[in-house]
């Protein structure tokens, strides 16, 4: 039957699953702090960092795991990482100030992305590693170092446009970094500034899910390291960037079924599955399917630390042996910059159901106390169901699946939380809460605005006492990774 619900259930790690099981706690938070509300689980990011470190250990590699701060604005995740075996990647002056203020020391901070003069100055002044976007930035940095008599900063060269032995460029276009073809002039520049800059290595960041592209880039970086050495530098770190990905969905079968039903709907072979017949990149042209599905591969069996493991285990195309082995044999440190993957399972976004408007035909319209800028899953092409948390505990009658469209609180036709029809296990009612799970990576606060003077979500950090007990919360800005509530009466280790 083609009206059967098409669920896309979120993948939930034990912490997030337990939190969603504490519906009265989450309702109380929304009652107190309003809708929308972002809930962060700082313990999880430490566990994710440990997962990356265990892959380093398996490949006998040293180096750093830099959390790409831009994935999430909260203070609690970054503060929690100060006490983990992790570092932080900052992409703006504000993020650098946050990282320093959280307690990260310079040896555990790296600046990436394009940099303005103040950002570059504070980077150099505080002695963090600068991942340089190009020659202009290196010149500016060297000038700052000389003018203000700053210590010689560690710099990495961000490279792009790697090639295989053939003429075809296999890595995608990027506006960031310097083409490997221009490495020669970049090394000339470094030679001129030998006294002001300390080149510690090279790297890339590719916004792709393709392991082949990354393997080619990694191999290209190994060759660039040789070029640095031949100029008399002692490079020691290779940075493979971020982009390790997250699996958002619990069940591969639901994803496969959904995408084939979506195709059928676009072809007119079943009732529409989206608002206004939106096709997520697909459309029908005279009975033929055109376009390509522009969605995040929401079911990803290999993501996060496992993706890094697979990359390092992959044999190099020209150099033969596994990439991890090549790094090890060269005694290079491995730098990674995971954003989304470290934020995996680290939070959820709650919204109150304000109105449920039933229609004669088709899905009900459900208006939420949030707008499309507050939960940007759709912007990232991530299709995953929210979890319904009934206000009354869900005790009214047997569950009856309901098809709904989720509308935002802006007076704007386009303000849809998602353009697809969402199937919920029961009809929502005003006062219920919808929980969007796993939003901490880019989908929580990246695009939040004050459009129409609607509130921006507050953020809270939660933890479970003793790991299993009562849920506790504090405002995100009140969170520190210490458990003390008064003077510490510690004899100071004198036993």
Ligand X SMILES: *Cc1c(COP(=O)(O)O)cnc(C)c1O
Q: What residues make contact with ligand X under the rule CB under 6 A?
A: 68, 70-71, 89, 112-113, 205, 241-244, 337-341
Residue with tokens 């950002």: 119
Distance in Å, CB of 327 to ligand X, minimum? 18
Secondary structure class of 385 (helix, strand, coil): coil
Nearer to ligand X among residue 51 and residue 242 (C-beta): 242
Distance in Å, CB of 475 to ligand X, minimum? 25
Distance in Å, CB of 240 to ligand X, minimum? 10
Whether 290 contacts 283, CB under 8 Å: yes
Whether 361 contacts 27, CB under 8 Å: no
User: CA 23 → CA 8, 20, 353, 434, distances in Å?
Assistant: 20, 6, 14, 10
Secondary structure class of 396 (helix, strand, coil): coil
In 3D, which of 177, 133, 183, 108 has the Cα closest to residue 141?
A: 133
Distance in Å, CB of 218 to ligand X, minimum? 15
Secondary structure class of 33 (helix, strand, coil): helix
Whether 172 contacts 213, CB under 8 Å: yes
Q: H helices within 64-157, ranges in order? A: 75-81, 93-102, 117-126, 135-147
DSSP 277: G
Q: Are strands 63-68 and 87-90 parallel, antiparallel or unpaired?
A: parallel
Nearer to ligand X among residue 51 and residue 241 (C-beta): 241
Distance in Å, CB of 229 to ligand X, minimum? 24
Which tokens go with 441? 């990576």
Whether 21 contacts 261, CB under 8 Å: no
- Point out which residues pair with 436 in neighbouring strands: 349
Distance in Å, CB of 151 to ligand X, minimum? 24
Secondary structure class of 403 (helix, strand, coil): strand
Distance in Å, CB of 207 to ligand X, minimum? 7
Q: How far apart are CA 76 and CA 475, in angstroms?
A: 9
DSSP 82: T
Distance in Å, CB of 76 to ligand X, minimum? 18
Distance in Å, CB of 92 to ligand X, minimum? 11
Secondary structure class of 333 (helix, strand, coil): strand
User: CA 399 → CA 7, 421, 425, 426, distances in Å?
Assistant: 14, 18, 6, 5
Distance in Å, CB of 392 to ligand X, minimum? 38
Residue with tokens 């599955």: 273
Whether 193 contacts 235, CB under 8 Å: no
Largest CA distance in the chain: 83
Whether 466 contacts 453, CB under 8 Å: no
Nearer to ligand X among residue 26 and residue 71 (C-beta): 71
């Amino acid at each position: 039957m083609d009206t059967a619900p098409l669920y896309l259930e979120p993948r939930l790690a034990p912490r997030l699953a337990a939190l969603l099981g504490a519906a009265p706690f989450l309702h109380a938070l929304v009652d107190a702090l309003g809708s929308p509300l972002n809930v962060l689980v700082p313990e999880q990011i430490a566990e994710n960092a440990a997962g990356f470190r265990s892959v380093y250990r398996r490949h006998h590699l040293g180096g750093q795991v830099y959390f790409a701060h831009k994935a999430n604005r909260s203070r609690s995740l970054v503060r929690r990482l100060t006490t983990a075996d992790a570092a932080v990647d900052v992409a703006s002056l504000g993020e650098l100030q946050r990282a320093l203020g959280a307690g990260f020391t310079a040896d555990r901070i790296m600046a990436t992305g394009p940099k303005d003069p103040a950002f570059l100055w504070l980077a150099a002044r505080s002695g963090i590693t600068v991942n340089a976007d190009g020659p202009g930035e290196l010149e500016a940095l060297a000038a700052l170092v000389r003018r203000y008599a700053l210590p010689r900063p560690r710099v990495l060269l961000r490279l792009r446009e790697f090639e295989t032995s053939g003429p075809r460029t296999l890595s995608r276009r990027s506006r960031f970094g310097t083409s490997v073809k221009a490495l020669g002039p970049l090394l000339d520049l470094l030679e001129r500034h030998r006294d002001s800059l300390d080149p510690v290595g090279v790297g890339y960041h590719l916004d792709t899910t393709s392991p082949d592209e990354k393997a080619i880039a990694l191999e290209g970086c190994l060759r660039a390291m040789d070029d640095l050495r031949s100029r008399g530098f002692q490079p020691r770190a290779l940075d493979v960037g971020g982009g390790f990905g997250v699996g958002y969905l619990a069940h591969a079968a639901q994803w496969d079924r959904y995408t084939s039903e979506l195709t059928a709907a676009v072809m007119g072979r079943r009732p529409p599955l989206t608002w206004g017949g939106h096709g997520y990149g697909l459309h029908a042209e005279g009975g033929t399917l055109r376009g390509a599905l522009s969605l995040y591969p929401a079911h990803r069996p290999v993501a996060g630390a496992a993706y890094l493991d697979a990359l390092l285990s992959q044999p190099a195309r020209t150099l033969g042996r596994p990439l991890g082995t090549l790094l090890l044999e060269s005694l290079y440190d491995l730098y990674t910059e995971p954003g989304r993957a470290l934020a995996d399972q680290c939070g959820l976004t709650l919204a109150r159901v304000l109105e449920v408007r039933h229609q004669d035909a088709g899905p009900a319209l459900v208006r939420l106390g949030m707008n499309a800028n507050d939960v940007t899953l759709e912007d990232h092409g991530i299709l995953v169901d929210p979890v319904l948390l009934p206000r009354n505990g869900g005790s009214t009658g047997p569950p009856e699946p309901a098809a709904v469209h989720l509308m935002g609180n802006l007076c704007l036709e386009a303000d849809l939380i998602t353009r697809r029809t969402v199937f919920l296990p029961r009809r929502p009612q005003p006062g219920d809460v919808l929980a969007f799970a796993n939003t901490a990576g880019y989908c929580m606060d990246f695009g939040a605005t004050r459009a129409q003077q609607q509130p921006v979500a507050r953020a809270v950090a939660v933890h479970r006492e003793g790991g299993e007990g009562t849920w506790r919360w504090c405002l995100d800005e009140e969170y520190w990774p210490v458990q003390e509530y008064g003077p510490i009466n510690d004899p100071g280790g004198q036993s």
